[in-house]
Structures are given as structure tokens and as C-alpha cells.
Structure 1
Amino acid sequence: MVSAGLCGAALAASTSAPAHAERGDRPTARSTLRWQVTDTGSTVRFRGLAAVSRGTAWAAGSKGTVLRTVDGGRGWKNVSPPGAGELEFRDIEAFGPRRAVALAIGEGEASRVFRTEDGGATWTESFRNTDPRAFYDCLTFFDRQHGLAVSDPVDGKYRILATDDGGRSWNVLPPEGMPAAQQGEAAFAASGQCLVSSGPRDVWLATGGAATARVLHSRDRGRTWSAAESTIPAGDPARGVFAVAFRDRRHGIAVGGDYRPEQASPRAAATSRDAGRTWTQSERPPTAYRSGVSRLPRPRTAAIAVGPTGSDLTLDSGRTWRTFDTGSYDTVDCTPDSACWASGEKGRIARLHR
């Protein structure tokens, strides 16, 4: 269990590359909550992360890189798809130590989906985008078979890609159930958490870049959607909701802000108690832009948010946040057995130490 006493922790973590556990773990205050940086042997940026358990995690990043650990981060194996060196992986979903589905982002054919069933020894490219107007951002799965990916708007609406065979094949869903996008609106491929699911049918899409930052919700695996305004500021291509996390189909947290380091993000978090129909500004949000968020399984009211300037903990479902780490991370993912992992720039992948 995470206790309230953990909130005051802070960590000054190194961002030197490659990442090493023996460097970058210097506590600035006495604490029991900190990121333990692992030795990945890599220098790329990992914005895609799939935490399976205390022992197993996958990370996907730039230069077509995919890493996997099965020993709690003591050793990472490069299991990148052959010939993918020019691709930008931004999301990955994993179902154990052997099976994973990874999303590469970009315009036109740069957006692709790969899957493996043997721990990354071999990969199959199961989708390649052929529409130059599409740009896929995020990926999510409801279970081992049913999943979705989202593209920025095409012809004025977000495009949804669906699979019902574990990512072996994909099809574009009809656009009739998707509300119109705002002018300039898009999803952010910053942490693999702009599209998230909870339970067998509910899924949420986080947006920004337009007049208002919105969260779209579907109760039928992406066939029909409703849109709600969040309290996180938008009105600029660099602002909006970057990530959402739901502990069940009703209770959600949204984080974001302005990703430009010289710009303040005073309202970087919001909460919902009605499946995303309405959003309430956090009373004490993170002090800066946050790109990733994940719920902790215990206590159910706890969550962690991460960004380039630090990591924050909430113990009251997102109403108030306290910074416990000052290292740079792009995304975070927690597992049912209470393990949390984070990843980011310069090869940094860390596991939460409590």
C-alpha cells in the first residue's frame, strides 16, 4: 500500500545516456518512494511502455527500438523488428513476456502496427497506413483479442482502426459515430496514453491543439462517441490533454498542459466521476506539464503522473498532487501486482521503488 507519507519524496535523477541504475538515483530528501533507473544500454527515447508485472515490461521508442525485460529490469534485451530503424515507435501493448503489439507513428506509411508472439524474436507487420492524410497516435486493447488505434482527423473526424483477432488484422471503423473534430484538433503521440480503455467496451480519446481540450468516450468499442470539454487549457497546438487513465468505467484522471518548456501549465490535471461526461479541475494539480498518467491498483485512489520535469503522486483520485521525483519521464504504467514502470529520454527506463 502507498501511504500518505510518500507524498513528500523528491528525487534528482540523472538524464545521462545510456541510463545506469548506479547513476541518477540520488535522493534529495529522505523517502521511500523513488524511481530506480535501470541499465538499458540504449540512448533512444522511449515513449511507448507496457508494464506486464514486477518482472516483465516492454518499451518502444525512436529508431525503431523495442526492448524487453523479464527479470525486473536487471537486464534488457533489444528485440526490435528487423529493418524498422527509421520508424518512431510511440506505443506498445503487451500480454505477457512473449506477446506484444507495437505502433509506429507518422504520416502515411510511417504509421504501422507490428506484432510478436515469441518475445520479439520475430515480428509481423500487420498494418501499414496507405492514406497520406492519416497519422496514427495511440493504441489500446480491451482484452487479448479486441483493440483500437486512433489517427488524427481525416475528413474532419478522428479515424479509428480496430482488430478483433489480437492485432493480426485491422479495419477502419465507419466514421458516422464519431463527432466532428474542432479546427486544429489532434491527439498527442507523447506517451501512448491518448487512447485508453477500461473494461470490455469503454474507451477514451484525449485531444488538444484546438480551442478547447476534449475527452471523447465510446461505450461500444469505438463505434459511437460522445465528446466532453476538459478543464485543461488548449487554444494552441502545444496545449491540451495528453493522457488519461480510468480505474473503472466511471472514475478518470486527465493530465496535460503545454509541452513547451518555457510555457507554464498551471492547470495540468482534471478528474471525472461520470465516465468522462464532465471534468473537474484538480484542486492542487502538478506544477508543470505532464505527458503520462497511470492508476495504482492499491490504494484505488492513487495514481502517478510523469513529465519532463518530474513525477507526481495523488492519493485522492487526482484532486491533489505532490511531486516525488524531478527526473525526466514521458510515460508511466502500473501493473495489477503493484509494480510501476516509467520511461523517457536518453534510454531511461525505471521501476518504482517503495
Structure 2
Amino acid sequence: MRVKGTMRRMMTAGLCGVALVAVLTAPAQAGAAGTGDRSDGAAAESAGAAGSGSPYATGAGLTWRASDSGSDARFRGLAAVDRRTAWVAGTKGTVLRTVNGGRSWRDVSPPGAGALEFRDVEAFDSRHAVVLAIGEGEASRVFRTADGGATWTESFRNTDPAAFYDCMTFFDARHGIALSDPVDGKYRVLSTGDGGRSWRVLPSAGMPAAQPGEAAFAASGQCLVSSGGRDAWIATGGAATARVLHSADRGLTWTVAQAPIPAGDPARGVFGLAFRDARHGLAVGGDYRAGEPSPRTAAVTGDGGATWTDARRQPPGYRSGVAWLPHSRSAALAVGPTGSELTLDGGRRWHTFDTGSYDTVDCTPDLSCWAAGEQGRIGRLALSGR
């Protein structure tokens, strides 16, 4: 009977995930039929008009179903592996893991890490994960586990007092990079080719010069993201203009483009990125200070980040995290301290469906989306009544 019950729960979770993605993506994709994969205005109008006929077009019926984490940490790092397995990382050196779809969370924090601020976690399955602690000098560290967090190995500790590591990304289970704020006028990039067991600083010759005051924001683990085996992007702010940097060779060389999200202040710029392939990407940000206006918080690209366009309907406030829905060319989610949005036309129009506080969001290939944030908040995306 226990086996049957487990199978029933797994099937139910899978069907809910399929239903969720089907109702969200089908209307926009149907309306865009015949437009191919264009990023032009006609395709956007077609997709938006089709989605508007769906009861879910503005996010109605969507909800974050709360999961009791048993923690009061602020989780800015999130790695969703599948609909059963997810990892979160946050303040007070906290790392949690679930292997039962969020029904329970296990504290798998590295021993002695209570003074560290974990801001990013990258997980490959229920056993293998890498977490990044941020901060000046030796506060920036990387830990790796191969046994579900039962034991951890510190694989990198920053010894340069000028470096401050913000986030990391992996291209596959072996190759990954991590990002530091500028050192000697250029962003610094770490690289691993053995799954995070060892790291080396990449040469800076291929990195464009940083603007005065420019930095990356360690707000959601999404200031450095990747798609495919070689492409990576960096989100920046704090300087005169917000920018997005792109590498097509795992961090050796970079190009740079201006983003339309306003900067000009240490608290403003692009905070999070998401790319569904090497060309189509989303950017979110704004001003993270509570009560400060953020009139332009989202942008979209269809050429790999070479150019960016303002969203036509913006999220109403600062957003720090963004993720494409699985198996969709047009649906995505954005989250921030004042709410969550849904887009059905590839980031051109965003519609608020939740007003709770979340810092980061991630979706999995088997149709599951998770969000995490302050006061131990963790949620899974669901349809009301399902």
C-alpha cells in the first residue's frame, strides 16, 4: 500500500505540473502560430492578444503554495532540480534540501558556516550541490557536497580583499563559473571544470572595463546565468547605466550592451537574468530600497543580449528574480519583495498574480516552479483549487 500511495502522489504532482504549464502556455503559443520564433512587434501583439482570452492570461488562478521550511533565514539562493527535489541557501549559513516536493525540508547547512551569507546554490541532483557565500575577502567561499549535504568540502576561499563574489552558474555538471565585483577595473571570473572541486581565476584580458561604481547584485543568484554549454551573461547596476555582459566561451571573452533598466545609483540596475536559449532572454531589476520608485523594471532581448527592449507592461515594482516556465517559448515568472508576475508573451507584458515577498524563482524540466525569500518563505507554483 505504501508503494501505491507514493506512486499516486508522484502521478498527481506530475499531472498538476502538466496542467499548469498547459493552461499557461497553450493560449499564447496558439495565438503566435505562424509567427515562427520572431521577436518583432507583430509576433508580440499576436501572442498577447491570444493570451488575453485565457482566464490565466493575467495570472488569475495562480498561487504560490507555501511550504513550511522550519527556518527564518532569508533564502536568495534556489536550485530546483525537479518536482521532488530542491535546494535553498540563505542567511546564517543556512542550506535546506527537500526530496519530497517540499512537504518537509532538511537542514543540511555546512558545519561552522553560521556567520556566512549564502546567496547562490547550484544543484545537479538530490546529492550533488555547490553553494556560494558572499562578502569581502575571505567571506567569499564555495562549498561542495556529493552526499546530499551530509558532508561539505570548502573548495574555494577568496584571499583577495578587493574581491567580492556575488553569484555563480554551471553549464553542465562539471563546468561552471563564479563572478566577483570588479577588481582593478574589471569583473573577475572564477572557473571550474570538475564540478566545483577546484577553481581558478580566468584571465581578465577578454573582460571589458567596468564603469565607475558598477557592480553585480547578489540578490537572487541570477546576476550570472547561463544557457547551453558555453553562453553566459552578467547583470550589472550601480553605475551611470545598467549593462548586460555576454560570453560565448565560458567566460574567457565578453561583449557588453546597455540595458534600459535605469541605474545611476548604487541601489539600481539589473538584478536578475534568465535565458531560455542563446538568443531569448529576460532582465528584471529596479531600485531595491523599500518605497523607492522603480518605473522600468523589466526588459527583453531576442539577439542574445546584444540589444534590449523595455517591457510594454512593466511589473509595478523592483523585481530580483526571473525564470522561464519549462517547455515554453513565451511564459515566464518574475518575483520580488512586493509581488510576482506572469508573462505569456515572452516578457513584453507582465501581470501580477501574487503580492507576497519572494527574492528568487526557478523552474524545472519536469514542470515544477519554486520561489524563495525572506523569513524562510518557500513556495511552489500551483493553480488554485488543484
1:203-261 deviation per Cα after TM superposition (whole angstroms, max 9, x unaligned): 00000000000000000000000000000000000000000000000000000000011
Q: Please, which of 222, 227, 240 is the counterpart of residue 198 of structure 1?
A: 227
Instruction: Give the distance between the partners of 2:211 and 2:377, measured in 1 at CA.
Output: 35
Name the CA distance, whole Å, in 1 between partners of 2:141 and 2:189: 14
One-letter amino acid of the counterpart of residue 6, structure 1: Y
Could you give the per-residue CA deviations for residues 315-335 of structure 1, whole angstroms, max 9, x where no partner exists?
A: 111000000000000000000
SS state of the match for residue 346, structure 1? helix
Q: Greater helix share, 1 or 2?
A: 2
For the residues of structure 2 that align with 1:286 and 1:313, how far apart are their CA atoms? 9
Code of the aligned partner of 2:337: P
Matches of 1:260 and 1:161 in 2, distance apart? 30
Distance in 2, matches of 1:299 and 1:166, equals 28
State the shift of 1:298 in Å.
3.4
2:261 paired residue number = 232
How does 1:78-93 map onto structure 2 within 5 Å?
Answer: 78-93=107-122
Q: Shift in Å at residue 262 of structure 1?
A: 1.5
Structure possessing the higher radius of gyration over alpha carbons: 2
Distance of 1:58 and 1:2 partners within structure 2: 27
Q: Which residue is equivalent to 1:330?
A: 359
**Pairwise CA distance, 1:33:** 1.1
Counterpart of 2:55 in structure 1 is: 5
Match of residue 94, structure 1, among 123, 148, 151: 123
Q: Does 1:277 align with 2:306?
A: yes
Match of 1:38 among 64, 67, 76: 67
Q: How many residues align?
A: 333
Question: Which residue identity is paired with 2:112?
Answer: G
Contact 2:343 2:351 in 1 (8 A): yes
Amino acid of the structure 2 residue aligned with 1:35: W
- After TM superposition, give the deviation of residue 345 of structure 1 in Å: 0.3
Deviation at 1:86, TM superposition (A): 0.2
- CA–CA separation in structure 1 for the residues paired with 2:23 and 2:160: 46
Q: Distance in 2 between matches of 1:7 and 1:62?
A: 35
Contact 1:329 1:344 survives alignment (8 Å): yes
- Unaligned runs of 5+ residues in structure 1 are 10-30
- Is 2:261–2:269's contact at 8 Å kept on the other side of the alignment? yes
Tell whether the 8 Å contact from 1:46 to 1:347 is kept in structure 2 after alignment: yes
Structure 1 residue 110 and structure 2 residue 131: aligned? no
- Would the aligned equivalents of 1:2 and 1:298 in 2 still touch at CA under 8 Å? no
Aligned twin of 1:61: 90
Q: Tell me if the contact between 2:192 and 2:198 (Cα under 8 Å) persists in the aligned partners.
A: yes
Matches of 1:300 and 1:54, distance apart in 2:
20
2:233 corresponds to which letter in structure 1?
A: W
Partner-residue secondary structure (3-state), 1:89? strand
For 1:322, give the aligned amino acid. H
Root mean square deviation, CA, Å:
0.8
Judge conservation of contact 2:93–2:110 (CA < 8 Å) in 1. yes
Distance between the aligned counterparts of 2:23 and 2:232, measured in 1?
27
Cα deviation 1:58-91 (Å, max 9, x = unaligned): 0000000000000000000000000000000000
CA distance in 1, matches of 2:277, 2:136: 33
Out of 123, 137, 156, the residue aligned to residue 152 of structure 2 is 123
Alpha-carbon offset, residue 271 of structure 1: 0.4
Counterpart residue number, 1:26: none
Paired position in structure 2 for 1:248: 277
Q: Percent identity?
A: 72
Between the aligned partners of 1:143 and 1:193, the Cα distance in structure 2 is 17
Aligned with residue 368 of structure 2, among 329, 332, 339:
339
Question: What SS is found at the alignment partner of 1:109?
Answer: helix
The SS at the match of 1:6 is coil
Aligned letter for 2:184? D
> Is 1:319 the equivalent of 2:348?
yes
Give me the whole-angstrom Cα distance separating, in 2, the residues matched to 1:289 and 1:210.
Answer: 17
Q: Residue 351 of structure 1 aligns to a residue in which SS? A: strand
Distance in structure 2 (CA, Å) of the matches to 1:84 and 1:125: 11
Contact kept in structure 2, 1:163 and 1:169, CA below 8 Å: yes
Find the aligned partners of 2:329 and 2:102 in 1 and give their Cα distance: 25
On the 8 A contact 1:252/1:271 being kept in 2, the answer is yes
Query: What are the Cα deviations for residues 88-109 of structure 1, in whole angstroms up to 9, with x where unaligned?
Result: 0000000010000000000000
Deviates more, 1:292-301 or 1:129-138: 292-301
Q: CA deviation at 1:167?
A: 0.2
TM-score by length of 2: 0.85
Amino acid in the other structure paired with 1:318: G
Match of 2:167 in 1: 138
List alignment gaps of at least 5 residues for structure 2.
1-21, 25-53
